[in-house]
Amino acid sequence: MRILVVEDHPAVAQTSSALLREVYGHEVECSSTAAGAFEAALRFCPDLILVDLNLPDADGYSLARRLRSEAGFDATRLVALSGWGGLIDTHAVDESGFDAWFRKPMDFEELPRVRRRR
């Protein structure tokens, strides 16, 4: 699976990417900003995008809305991630086009079960 990790904390991004590549065998790219993630998504064409909700240049909700407005991302699964688990606005997650949300650290065993909600 092609996975884009959108995470601004370098250690979390590095650890997540290494696990997804080395343990689970996925093809992975990373971005630390919403703007960079959007460009990477256009170029990389991921099957799934893991999005930290708290990014330095925009929140993950606005990134999800922007991705969902692009024609090429209808089948792409979007997963919201937050280290502030109790503060996830589930209504905003649904409204912005995410398919699922998890608290960090995410159990990557859950990824195959994430389905696209339409």
Which regions of 1-118 does DSSP assign to beta strands (E)?
A: 2-6, 27-31, 48-52, 77-82, 100-103
Domain ranges of the chain: 2-112
The third-level CATH classification (topology) of the domain covering 2-112 is: Rossmann fold (3.40.50)
Global confidence as pTM: 0.95
The mean pLDDT of 97-104, rounded to a whole number, is: 94
Q: What is the pLDDT of residues 48-82, one digit of tens each?
A: 999 999 999 999 999 999 999 998 999 999 999 99
How high is the pLDDT of residue 85? 57
**Residue 41 corresponds to which amino acid?**
A
